[in-house]
Structure 1
Amino acid sequence: MGEQAPLPQDFLDLSADCGGDPLRVQGPGGNTSIKLGETLWIKASGTELANALDDDIFVAVDRAIALAEAKGAGDGTCQAAILDPERGLRPSIETTFHALIDWPVVAHTHSVATLVHATSDQGFAEAKRKLDGLPVAFVPYCKPGRPLTEAIAAKMTPSVQVFVLGNHGLIVAGDSAPDVATLMGEVERRLAMPVLADGSPPEGSAPDGFIWLQTSALAHDAQLFSLATQGSYYPDHVVFLGPALPTQPVDGAPACLIQGQDLAIRKEATPAQKAMAQCLSDVLTRLPANWDPNAIGSEAEAELLNWDAEKYRQALAARRA
């Protein structure tokens, strides 16, 4: 199995559509899967859904082995389940929940609309109201991988097709890719939030070695500046940007937020880092002033920063820059 087997065109279209929309997926984030017989095809770690139509980004795993890992066997990485190891691809770090969810097609996104709601108690309550009548479950934040899979298992029933993941994103599952696309579109429509904060063009040049991201609202709004510089709110921010944004250039930090100016990012920043900086602005500028987002905290940040699986994904993203 040196090459990717033909996958249904509608599944590839769904994957590319998700990956091509920065309000749903940023850089190498998110993943999709399809179950064909006893084989689970899932996006490989570090690849981008946006490239689903052009590149071989999916890896085949034995679903039975992946399901066993979801329930505690092995190390939870599902590398032992790979059917085509000669391709050199690792399955997504979230393969276990794709194996566990018993629907043929599963799509996981880092939806901005979902993140706005899923980072605060007020947002969670509002999302429950907005999504009433849909087959939805709400899952508290857990480290990606098997801990998140276990949290999903605790909320899963045969009828649930939508999972809102605290401080993480969205999962939509269904019998087919068109069904998933339709249901995801309905969730996005119900959760859509307008941009509530505007900035103004920065004055002067960015710090040496940086460029302005041209998304200055975080630098001009005191509440948003505080939120952006005091915590992180979802895993991929930590993985690609580090913890809370520094307020001046710091060695090793790809971005900083200059109060009264703009979000500055290094000239050599990877596309993934730029996408995550934009995502932070997209999320926080949609946050109602009376919602109080919960940062994931220093312990959760340390788990992500010291995790070999995420270091691997970072390295692949840098290589593709």
Structure 2
Amino acid sequence: MRPGAQAARTARGGALNARDDKQDGLRAEVSAYCARVGTDPLLVQGAGGNASWKNGDTMWVKASGTWLAEAQRTNIFVPVDLAHLRAAIAAGDMEVVPRALAGSALRPSIETLMHALMPQTVVMHLHAVEILAHLVRPDFAGPAPAPAPWCWVDYHKPGAALAGAIVARLREQPEAQIIFLQNHGVVIGGADVGEVETILTSLLACMRTEPVAPVAPTGAEASTMAKLTAISDEGIQQLALDPRLYKRLRKEWTLCPDHVVFLGAEAACYADAESFVAAQTMGDEARLAIIAGVGVYVAGDFGAARTAQLRCYYDILARQPSDAPLTTLTPPQLAELLDWDAERYRLAMAR
């Protein structure tokens, strides 16, 4: 082999190794950050939220139904063909199915297209409570001051419909690094993890709302709870104990898509213990019961994922001004979520 050819091959090998090292470092940074935010219930609830990073024509995105908190313990990311997604998006095809690479058995996140639409290297989508508390209000005005350019997207079903709405908005505001999704969450794009974290920290600081003071338990207990037991989370118990929160349950239960998917379209609330007992007598097999002035009770199979969503619901309500109107999902929007194979898959994957 000629000396010049050998030198060229060596240079190419060095460039490939440097690129691989950079990719490994980015993966480690994203995984560490996901594991950190994934353990904070004010940022992530169970299998909610997702993350991605781009490397050339490949994008790594969280798998559907996996937990960000497990990012450093198990492989939760799926490599997908980014060039394929971008070509489909350019052609207006929002129904495109992401192509998983490397024979991954996991299914890419429902919101993979949303990540592909963002031009930044690292993208995080979080259901941050301090932000959600504002996104469910009809008078959302945005952060002040804004740490980066932002835009607003009305509620759309996650997946193709939401991706289409984001495309339209980014055409108007291509500089946006923050996307506020009505009743859903926030998307942040950055050149690296540090930039994403800086933006998120600033948003949380300027949008923080002090939750209402908790109401002390009354000491009342339901006499017959069938197979249910009182949930141990003191915040969740406030949904039954605080009259200000309880009165919102029937009309303002459907605040966020994940709440609906994991908890159903109607609140399992009862005016008193006798009403609950009567419902059980009539054959109503309850998994959740919120009994006014008594407490919140769950079945043994309620699970950590549902508990996380119930806590998120409380955290959002506890940050609302008294009697302030909230925007809820409409019956057609609920029907879309509950009759959807992608969400049934995610629900089955979550624990």
Shared fold, TM over 0.5: yes
**Equivalent residue, structure 1, for 2:124:** 107
Q: CA deviation at 1:252?
A: 6.1
Which of residues 233, 245, 258 in structure 2 aligns to 1:236?
258
**Equivalent residue, structure 2, for 1:200:** 216
Which of residues 40, 62, 75 in structure 1 aligns to 2:81?
62
**Equivalent residue, structure 1, for 2:267:** 245
More deviation, 195-204/259-268: 195-204
1:274 equivalent in alignment to 2:307: yes
SS across alignment from 1:114: helix
1:216 equivalent in alignment to 2:249: no
Any residues of structure 2 matched to 1:1-321 within 5 Å, and which?
6=24, 8-70=27-89, 72-73=92-93, 75-78=95-98, 81-85=99-103, 87-122=104-139, 124-125=140-141, 128-132=142-146, 134-156=148-170, 157-201=173-217, 203-205=220-222, 207-213=225-231, 214=234, 215-230=236-251, 231-248=253-270, 251=284, 254-317=287-350, 321=351
SS across alignment from 1:228: coil
Asked if structure 2 preserves the Cα contact closer than 8 Å seen for 1:10 and 1:177, the reply is yes
2: CA distance between counterparts of 1:76 and 1:223? 45
Q: CA deviation at 1:129?
A: 4.9
2: CA distance between counterparts of 1:115 and 1:151? 19
- Relative to structure 1, the CA distance from residue 76 to residue 226 in structure 2 (aligned partners, 3 Å threshold; closer, same or farther) is farther
Amino acid at match of 1:75: E
Q: CA deviation at 1:307?
A: 0.4
- Structure 1 runs of 4+ with >4 Å offset: 248-253
- Relative to structure 1, the CA distance from residue 252 to residue 92 in structure 2 (aligned partners, 3 Å threshold; closer, same or farther) is farther
More deviation, 134-143/32-41: 134-143
Q: CA deviation at 1:299?
A: 1.2
How high is the TM-score relative to the length of structure 2? 0.82
1: CA distance between counterparts of 2:30 and 2:250? 39
2: CA distance between counterparts of 1:133 and 1:27? 27
Please tell me the root mean square deviation across aligned C-alpha atoms, in Å.
2.0
SS across alignment from 2:293: coil
How high is the TM-score relative to the length of structure 1? 0.89
Percent of residue pairs bearing the same amino acid type = 35
2: CA distance between counterparts of 1:309 and 1:92? 9
- Relative to structure 1, the CA distance from residue 312 to residue 129 in structure 2 (aligned partners, 3 Å threshold; closer, same or farther) is closer
Unaligned runs of 5+ in 2: 1-22, 271-275
- Relative to structure 1, the CA distance from residue 133 to residue 34 in structure 2 (aligned partners, 3 Å threshold; closer, same or farther) is closer
Larger-gyration structure (1/2) = 2
1:257-302 deviations in Å (ceiling 9; x for gaps): 1111222222221210111111111110111115211110211111
Q: CA deviation at 1:24?
A: 0.6
- Relative to structure 1, the CA distance from residue 115 to residue 253 in structure 2 (aligned partners, 3 Å threshold; closer, same or farther) is farther
Asked if structure 2 preserves the Cα contact closer than 8 Å seen for 1:229 and 1:245, the reply is yes
Q: CA deviation at 1:306?
A: 0.5
1: CA distance between counterparts of 2:256 and 2:132? 8
- Relative to structure 1, the CA distance from residue 112 to residue 264 in structure 2 (aligned partners, 3 Å threshold; closer, same or farther) is same
SS across alignment from 2:108: coil
